[in-house]
Chains A and B, each alone.
Chain A
Amino acid sequence: MIMLAYLIALSIALFAIGLAGIATDRHLVVIMLAVELIFAASMIALVSFFSYPGKASPGAVLMMFAIFTVAAAEIITVITFYVYMKRGGIDFDVTKLSKLKW
């Protein structure tokens, strides 16, 4: 059995990489991919705790599926943003996005 600390360390590493990506990258789609990475990190942490006897909570399964659903919906949002912004000729640089309507 793998030590829980290793799994949590991996989860923290992925979370940190995703957070650093959100903080430093300016491309809208890449930022949303970083959010996906953070979702994956939280999934790894949840599944790690769930896999260890005595550490699982009854709501963990519900939470896992909730994260699954939100992450899947977010990918669809990324695709929609990407296609419509590309067709509209809108810049993906988030520092230049200041309007809600064009």
Chain B
Amino acid sequence: MLDLYAFFAISAITVASSILIFAAKRLIYAVAALAAAFLGSALLFFLLGQTVMALLQLLVFVGGLSTYLIVAVSTEEKGAKLIFLPAFLAVAAVTAAGLGYVILGYVQPTGANAASSFLGSAAIAMQGSYALFYVMATLLAAVSISGVMIINKFIRLVV
């Protein structure tokens, strides 16, 4: 049942982000919405048990290519003011709290049902060999995107 709730929550975020791509007034918001949609699909892969695909999606699309897009758009937009930094930090804090909840072992899967539930499989994956990669991918994505935004907010990049 928890899987279903998680699926509907992730789907809602993904669909809302994909609509926001076209509803955004500025290009950088559209790119950030696309990154959120990629993140939603990565979470969905994780929910389906395809941990390697989720990791690839997180590393390549969310952490890598979305950051490139944000860098390109933010450096070329003249006089851009990234006013959604607090919102971004809030999202990063929620993500970190969710990962911490799983990593720190508050979820204790037991029995055969553990692998079939979302949080149970997450906890199993985190305890396995992928744990370090997940943490690295999340940290890389958070640090790179927030770093770009902070740099662009305080220092005007000249390309």
Contacts and interface: CB of A to CB of B under 8 A. Distances in A.
Interface of A: 1-2, 6-7, 10, 13-14, 17-18, 20-21, 24-25, 27, 29-30, 33-34, 36-37, 40, 43-44, 47-48, 50-51, 64, 68, 71-72, 75-76, 78-79, 82-83, 86-87
A13 to B, nearest CB: 6
A13 B13 CA distance: 13
A86 B50 CA distance: 39
Contacts of B21: 21, 30, 33-34, 37
Contact of A47 (B48, B60, B76): B48
B92 interface: no
Interface residue SS majority, chain A: helix
B45 A47 contact: yes
Contacts of B144: none
Interface of B: 3-4, 7, 11, 14-15, 18-19, 21-22, 27, 30-31, 34, 37-38, 41, 44-45, 47-50, 53, 56-57, 60-61, 65, 68-69, 72-73, 76, 116
Contact of B37 (A40, A75, A76): A40
Which among A20, A44, A87 has the highest number of chain B CB atoms within 10 Å?
A44
A40 B3 contact: no
Given A21-B21, A50-B50, A78-B69, A33 B34 contact: yes
A37 B34 CA distance: 7
B47 A2 contact: yes
29 contacts: A2-B3, A2-B7, A2-B48, A6-B7, A10-B44, A14-B37, A17-B15, A17-B19, A20-B22, A21-B22, A27-B27, A29-B27, A30-B27, A33-B34, A34-B21, A36-B34, A37-B21, A37-B34, A43-B57, A44-B44, A47-B44, A50-B50, A68-B60, A72-B61, A72-B65, A75-B68, A76-B68, A83-B76, A86-B76
